[in-house]
Structure 1
Amino acid sequence: MGKSSTLFDKATQKFTPFIEFFTTERAHWIIIGVGAILRIAQFLFNRSLTEGEAPIAMNIISHSYSELFRPLDFIQPAPVGFSIIEKLFVDMFGNSEYVLRLFPFIAGIATLYLFYRIAQKFLSRNAIPIALILFVVCDHLIYFTSEVKQYSSDVAITLLLILIASIIVTKKYSSTLLVLYGCLGALTFWFSHPAVFTFFGTSIVLLMYLIQKRVWEHVMWFCIAIVIAGMSLSINYLLTLEILSTNQGLIEGFQNSFMPLPPQSFVDVQWFGYVFLRMFKNPLGFSFFELPLAVVSCIIGCIIMFIKKKKILLFLILPILCALIASGFKKYPFEGRLLLFSAPLMFLVIAEGIEVIRMIVSQKSSVVGIILVIVLLFQPVVLAGYHVIKPRAPEELRPVVKYLKNNYRKSDTIYVYYAAVKAYRYYADRFNLSQHDYVMSVESQYDWNNYYNDIKRFKGTKRLWILFSHIIKWYGVDEEKLLLSYLDIFGKRIAEFRTSGASIYLYDLGER
């Protein structure tokens, strides 16, 4: 066994120059360049808007700038600043998927540089390339760089606030700089909801630091800055957020994403463990294969940072804890894309942790240490490469509506699946189909007989188009297949056209 280990280590020594190269600044910029290419490739693919993006797009196109300061239609929680920039781009460059995704794309590219700057300040030399790779290949970060949603800019603003706060701590500060940081926080609240958590999380660290230094004048000025930020948040809340935070439909929809406050049962306590592990799946993007290693790395990273870099650890975890507390008051769901801002913060901790594990294991066998790092990175890297060849296309409704446009006859009836209506309305307007009436299907997951009765009313219709996208699967039943089975009972399928995540069928339901 000893000889085998020695042979492995001798083989590993041949790769030492290659491993050392990854710790150089040149390698770091190559990794960043790869991250930019991954994001550009997804952006240029120009996929169709999804059912989630279409409502925001319609608000941006149809509303005036002043109307964007009020709650949006379709219960859309897009920040005011984000919506204004989106509308500005549409007014300047026209209405297209590229233009609507331009701001998230710019923000996504900016995050590559911001994350690198923070990694340089926060991490040990060998952990930097690991953190960079995790960040640039993260599936959710790449996807939301080309999504008409605010989540990409959430990440950019989170990183910007943390970077500036860390600079204030490590360099000579002044009352003016502290007040300006408060004003920056006040501004970012209008562009990003989780900016609230990041600003107040970093402010706690800054305040602790100033109190520790006993610079009371600076403490006073920074408290004034926090009050300014708080006033901005209050105005923003009253104008746009209050109606969302009290919407019972949203609260019920995210019921499992709110922290039990206080925990009253063992099930409530289990919630914390479940949510912690769920974060590694979404938004971090780890598969079950490397998830255990990622979890262990995160825990070890927290321990090491607590011992050696307490301020850095607080910068990274307090924004997440603030979001968790907000979820306890049912003000912010603690799940998935809404936690995308936390992904870079956790990647920094994980990278530090896996590097510590590698160093410990390498005392026995350096090859095993390297293998552990490869295990952590392998699946995310492969998945990112795969999506360069086959870009993410969850709901390709645009070619489906175009097919309908090319084959539509004046007497035809259009029947749209209820979960596809918003995206259909966006593309119907694009292809000049909006002047033709459509019928929305019923929504009845709890009673499938209603779908049968809804379709039955079209008996005798010679040409019925039924359009699907954003398909709901309920108790293992695919609703598209269910509705098609009912249509097959009443009539004959004449034509069909299917794409990734969307489809359309033409039926003759005339009397047989």
Structure 2
Amino acid sequence: MFVPGRRWTYLALLPLLAGALARLWHWGHDRPLWLDEQMIAINVRDGGGFRGLAGPLLHHQSAPLGWLWAERAALLAFGDGERVLRAQPLLFSLATLVLVWLVVRTWFGPAGAVTAALLFGFAPSLVQYAAEAKQYSADAFCALALLALAARAVTRPRWTPAWWLAAAAAAWLSMDAILLTPGLAAVLVGAVWRRDGWRAAARAAYFAPVWLAAAGTHYLVALRYTTGEPHLRPWWQRRGGFPDGSLASWLAHRPAGLAADPLHLPEGPATAGFWLLVLAGLAVLLARRTALGLLLAAPLATAAVLGAAHAVPLAGRLAIWLLPPLFLAAAAAVEALASATARARVPATAGLAVLATGLALVPQIRYAAQPPRLADGVDDRAGMAWLEAEHRPGDLVLVSVSSIPAVRWYSSMDRLRPGRFVRPVPPGPACSPGDLPDALAGRRRVLAYSGTLTNPATPAVLQARLAEQGRIVERRAFHDGVGWLVDLHPPASPAPTLPRLKTSCLQLSAFGWR
């Protein structure tokens, strides 16, 4: 499977360069931070400095400590703008494309190289997280780097110490790298043992304590505070990350779930074709280059076991570390097809396979070329600017629960306090009808804001309850976010009828600043 670079292999540079431009375009668009980014950014800016980032994180967040420290260093050096916070993810994503080129020009001929470049260059998840202040681009880079170095170490044992050192460094930049390393190490040491005997295998494992020390120290210093968040387990279970019933049924549905996210493949033949390529590529590699096939299969097996054990979700962005082995396996299948057709003197077949791959990726290419969209459909930056501009002494500020991070990140806490956060709930013990009138007592005006729609009923319920207390002077839309300015002096008007909402009562709570 390892072939020397050929002149036509340089065609792979075209989709890689296009993918790099798409990432720069999305990063330069400077869209406002969305909810998850805000919660990470608050920790980086307000979480107690470098030492504070090693403890429990605000808003139940989790991220590798090395990655958080790099974000903190960038913020101190260049300020807390959106582009600064997203610079590290961008650099990791661009480095991934460079590494893809170094890998494919060594592993594949033109057909496999171009296929891999198309997949890595335009994968929506890789483009998206290159321009978000989240750690997932580092996960993809570390997964690819460890795979590439392990493949090199299998054939050149002198690279084994470098692989262990890289795994130790990756353990501080990516939690997924910690999960990935044991399976790759087992394949690496096993391949050396099979070829050169147990003494050589022992030498290959000699630097394993370096990785164990790095991963163990990271866990003791920081990760023990951020793993196993109980409130996230049901969330991921509802989205297919964990089995909810039959394990066999869950495993059978994982290809479709992963195709939807993080692969973002169009439904139909494209999805089926991709998984056929992956299976064919793994089969070819296991037959021809067994160690390489096992290296690509190991992360998939690890992810399935961890997901089945309810330890790490096998779905969505937390499965992004599986993209490198999946993409490389698919490229290996196209490369095998190219080799077979070349021997049969039907070279056009390989070109057709690459063309079919490119056509299947048309939606992904279109996504990369379009202006970036707001991740959750809300412009909290504009919403908070409006709140600041409209705020007067004595106003009460009400915000939805999901908007608390936006207030903390984009606004002045001292200026907007005192405030309340609100959530719609069914009428009953959780809600007292007098909460809102009591909170408004002595106030002249109310400023309210509903951002990310974690509960779709929030805007309608909030508007209806506010209309009972006064006159809505202004209603301002910030894409899917909504702001209201309410004058409490005019007599309250009859409340608008709520359109078939199961939740029609507001629960008010004081701000919790963690």
Q: When the two structures are superposed, what TM-score results if normalisation uses the length of structure 1? A: 0.84
* Matched residue type, 1:207: V
For residue 266 of structure 2, give the secondary structure of its aligned residue in structure 1: coil
Aligned runs of 1:213-232 on 2, under 5 Å? 213-232=195-214
Q: Which residue is equivalent to 1:437?
A: 418
Instruction: Say whether residues 1:66 and 2:51 are aligned partners.
Output: yes
**Structure 1 residues 241, 127: CA separation in 2 closer, same or farther (over 3 Å shift)?**
same
For residue 207 of structure 2, give the secondary structure of its aligned residue in structure 1: helix
* Matched residue type, 1:442: R
Shift of 1:89: 1.0
**Structure 1 residues 258, 487: CA separation in 2 closer, same or farther (over 3 Å shift)?**
same
**Structure 1 residues 121, 393: CA separation in 2 closer, same or farther (over 3 Å shift)?**
farther
**Does the 8 Å contact 1:122/1:312 carry over to 2?**
no
Instruction: Say whether residues 1:121 and 2:87 are aligned partners.
Output: no
Instruction: Say whether residues 1:204 and 2:186 are aligned partners.
Output: yes
Q: When the two structures are superposed, what TM-score results if normalisation uses the length of structure 2? A: 0.83
**Structure 1 residues 412, 495: CA separation in 2 closer, same or farther (over 3 Å shift)?**
same
Distance in 2 between residues matched to 1:270 and 1:40, nearest whole Å: 41
Q: Which residue is equivalent to 2:404?
A: 421
Shift of 1:379: 1.7
**Does the 8 Å contact 1:245/1:330 carry over to 2?**
no
**Structure 1 residues 74, 472: CA separation in 2 closer, same or farther (over 3 Å shift)?**
closer
Shift of 1:283: 0.8
**Structure 1 residues 225, 158: CA separation in 2 closer, same or farther (over 3 Å shift)?**
same
Distance in 2 between residues matched to 1:435 and 1:486, nearest whole Å: 21
Residue from 298, 302, 308 that aligns with 1:318: 298
Shift of 1:300: 2.7
For residue 507 of structure 1, give the secondary structure of its aligned residue in structure 2: strand
* Matched residue type, 2:51: S
Distance in 1 between residues matched to 2:236 and 2:211, nearest whole Å: 28
For residue 65 of structure 1, give the secondary structure of its aligned residue in structure 2: helix
Distance in 2 between residues matched to 1:221 and 1:442, nearest whole Å: 59
Structure 2 unpaired stretches of 5+: 1-5, 493-514
Instruction: Say whether residues 1:42 and 2:8 are aligned partners.
Output: no
Q: Which residue is equivalent to 1:300?
A: 280
Give the count of matched residue pairs: 478
**Does the 8 Å contact 2:62/2:227 carry over to 1?**
no
For residue 361 of structure 2, give the secondary structure of its aligned residue in structure 1: helix
Shift of 1:447: 7.1
Shift of 1:281: 1.3
Structure 1 unpaired stretches of 5+: 1-21
Aligned runs of 1:66-465 on 2, under 5 Å? 66-171=51-156, 173-174=157-158, 177-256=159-238, 259-260=242-243, 267-289=246-268, 290-353=270-333, 372-387=356-371, 394-429=377-412, 434=415, 436-442=417-423, 444=425, 450=431, 455=436, 457=438, 461-465=443-447
**Structure 1 residues 490, 335: CA separation in 2 closer, same or farther (over 3 Å shift)?**
same
**Does the 8 Å contact 2:424/2:457 carry over to 1?**
no
For residue 135 of structure 1, give the secondary structure of its aligned residue in structure 2: helix
Instruction: Give CA deviations for 1:41-66 in whole Å, capped at 9, x if unaligned.
Output: 11111111111111221111122222
**Structure 1 residues 127, 320: CA separation in 2 closer, same or farther (over 3 Å shift)?**
same
Residue from 26, 31, 48 that aligns with 2:15: 31
* Matched residue type, 1:377: L
**Does the 8 Å contact 1:181/1:225 carry over to 2?**
no
For residue 333 of structure 1, give the secondary structure of its aligned residue in structure 2: coil
